[in-house]
Amino acid sequence: MATNPKTEPEVNASPATAAASSNFLRDIIREDLRAGKYTHVQTRFPPEPNGYLHIGHAKAICLDFGLADEFGGKTNLRFDDTNPEKEEQEYVDSILDDVRWLGFEWDGLYYASDYFGQLYDWAIKLIKDGKAYVDDLTAEQVRDFRGSLTAPGVESPYRNRSVEENLDLFERMRAGEFPDGTRTLRAKIDMASPNLNLRDPIMYRILHASHHRTGDKWCIYPMYDYAHGQSDSIEKVTHSMCTLEFADHQPLYRWYIEQLGIFPSQQIEFDRLNLTYTLLSKRKLLQLVNEGHVHGWDDPRMPTISGIRRRGYTPEAIRNFVTAVGVSRTNGTTDLAMLEHFLREDLNRRAPRAMAVLRPLKLVIDNYPEGQLEELEAVNNPEEPAAGTRQVPFSRELYIEQDDFRETPPPKYFRLSPGREVRLRYAYLVTCTGVVKNGQGEVVEIHCTYDPATRGGNTPDGRKVKATIHWVSAAHAVNAEVRLYDTLFAKPDPNQTEEGQDFMSNLNPNSLEVVPQAKLEPSLANRAVGTRFQFERLGYFCVDPDTAPGKPVFNRTVALKDTWAKIEKAGQGR
């Protein structure tokens, strides 16, 4: 059932303090300010607009915005849009939406493409300084010449061109004289460096492709590694926080900044968020969308911000989760149950309760007057008295869950069965007196009698019943489609596959179950998209955008059972 607030760990609720638990990023910033390395704090969140943001990005966002905020600093949102072939305005728009929804507002909004002119001028400077050259090798040859971790690289035969020749060729690359892929501009660093990123990395490639912002102005595009560090520097970013896979690139970013003598941004790496039963890679998520395994980026099974938002997650739950996960310098995997724990904890506080029956079984109260209607008082949220109460209609014919009746009850089954008395939530105690079966011998209707003295669920004689079940008045029920979700992948690590298979083989075939004819209490009709409820005993639900007038659609956000609380108790958390 619902979690007990007294046993929950302390969490921070506001975005300003979302990163307030101890972490080494904060320690570094504090020390840099103390030592006078920087006099201000400027961070940035730098997504590439080639997909929708996912919960891993939420971690980066909370750190970038949260830490800057703590030190009175600023945070830019910058689109690292150096790759025209994979980038689209749709992604830009979704990212803006998602960052705002998480609760953050950026100071500057920039695009790496804003800096294409400056980056070009800097490339010219590096050429003039003898630190960059035009290479006629193809990208493939460049790769072959680069060597490996064990073999040194081989210098390109074009490495020692004159400055004049390089300037001429680079200008002609820009002017569109050469076909795609025929030449590159490379930094002249060190082909024997143990760090492969320093073996004369490519700075520019030729690509006659339209860019989502600069259109056809450019036919040469800077590589991410040539654009990223200088973009930080242009924005006077002090602490450029990113995930661990960029650690090996840091010396290259520094090299460019030092050669150009520009503002020294400091990169600091932290661990990527990984979650069990899902994937946090835009490339793989795109594949799921493109191949139709999910119904778009905002499918409620997706770990995207737009997916989990549609599913009913709250920004507070995500921020609290990210704070609790913390940061480290080694990559690990976090239990999905931990995310769900923070979700339940937040929804328990805020979601009004309601009654809904997913798999209806008709219950007829034989001694209840036909045509009689009572409005019974139900509590909206036991966690929040101010939420008040509402009236729920009660009548002779009700729906209960099929699961709440067993003709032959197994041991420890205390719900309804012939001869057994149970409490109907907020209503009366009823005793099962008989069943009606169809031709196949299945129970299609159950009959009961009620005790009029137990209105509201109390027993004047003090007798006890062991179960309370939920119900909906049949004549007043609202029909709805309810979508139940299971994990998108069947394995904790979706990338763990049989030989010759890929992560697709681990898709969970039962990740979506549609309940077509659920019965809802009437207060649930016509609720706004995104409204969240706890359906008593069933979980947290929210109104899906597919809802149409008279045809409500609800998503189950998460079931009530909190496996994380159990895991945590057993000390098996991350």
Residues with catalytic function: 48, 272, 282
Here the tokens at position 70 are: 């703590």
CA distance 205 to 191: 19
CA distance 18 to 20: 6
Cβ at position 275, least distance to ligand ATP in Å: 9
Q: Which is nearer to ligand ATP, 47 or 539 (CB)?
A: 47
CA distance 64 to 44: 6
Q: Taking CB under 6 A as the criterion, which residues in 498-557 touch ligand ATP? A: none
Residue 359 binding ligand ATP, by CB under 6 A: no
Q: At CB < 8 A and 24+ separation, what contacts does 529-532 make? A: 530/312, 532/312, 532/314, 532/347, 532/350, 532/351, 532/557
Span of 112-120, 226-234, 254-262, 281-289 interacting with ligand ATP by CB under 6 A: 281-289
Q: Which is nearer to ligand ATP, 51 or 312 (CB)?
A: 51
- Tokens 């003598």 correspond to what residue? 261
Residue 21 binding ligand ATP, by CB under 6 A: no
Span of 51-59, 156-164, 168-176, 501-509 interacting with ligand ATP by CB under 6 A: 51-59
Q: Which is nearer to ligand ATP, 63 or 507 (CB)?
A: 63
* Closest among 382, 300, 385 to 343, alpha carbons compared: 300
Size of the site for ligand ATP (CB under 6 A): 15
Three-state SS for 391-442 is: EEEECCEEEEEHHHECCCCCCCCCCECCCCEEEECCCCEEEEEEEEECCCCC
Cβ at position 292, least distance to ligand ATP in Å: 20
Contact 356, 401 (CB under 8 A): no
Span of 55-63, 86-94, 198-206, 482-490 interacting with ligand ATP by CB under 6 A: 55-63
Residue 225 binding ligand ATP, by CB under 6 A: no
Cβ at position 325, least distance to ligand ATP in Å: 10
Span of 46-54, 391-399, 443-451, 452-460 interacting with ligand ATP by CB under 6 A: 46-54
To the nearest 10°, the Cα dihedral for 345, 347, 351, 353? -60
CA distance 78 to 143: 29
CA distance 384 to 348: 10
Span of 53-61, 131-139, 296-304, 391-399 interacting with ligand ATP by CB under 6 A: 53-61
Q: At what angle do helices 116-128 and 250-260 cross, to 10 degrees?
A: 70
**Given 26, 41, 47, 298, the residue binding ligand ATP (CB under 6 A):** 47
Q: Which is nearer to ligand ATP, 46 or 352 (CB)?
A: 46
Residue 60 binding ligand ATP, by CB under 6 A: yes
Separation of first and last alpha carbons in the chain: 23
**Given 139, 191, 209, 280, the residue binding ligand ATP (CB under 6 A):** 280
Residue 300 binding ligand ATP, by CB under 6 A: no
Contact 380, 390 (CB under 8 A): yes
Say how many C-beta atoms besides its own lie within 10 A of residue 551's C-beta. Answer: 11
Q: Where are the alpha helices (DSSP H) in 103-184?
A: 116-128, 139-145, 163-175
**Given 186, 239, 249, 282, the residue binding ligand ATP (CB under 6 A):** 282
Q: Taking CB under 6 A as the criterion, which residues in 259-278 touch ligand ATP? A: 272-273
Cβ at position 75, least distance to ligand ATP in Å: 12
**Given 15, 41, 48, 313, the residue binding ligand ATP (CB under 6 A):** 48
Q: Which is nearer to ligand ATP, 176 or 332 (CB)?
A: 332
Q: Which is nearer to ligand ATP, 50 or 449 (CB)?
A: 50
Contact 68, 74 (CB under 8 A): yes
Q: Which is nearer to ligand ATP, 46 or 201 (CB)?
A: 46
Q: Which is nearer to ligand ATP, 83 or 473 (CB)?
A: 83
Span of 157-165, 279-287, 374-382, 517-525 interacting with ligand ATP by CB under 6 A: 279-287
Three-class SS state of 228: helix
Here the tokens at position 148 are: 């490996």
Cβ at position 82, least distance to ligand ATP in Å: 11
Which residues contribute to the site for ligand ATP (CB under 6 A)?
46-48, 56-57, 59-60, 242-243, 272-273, 280-283
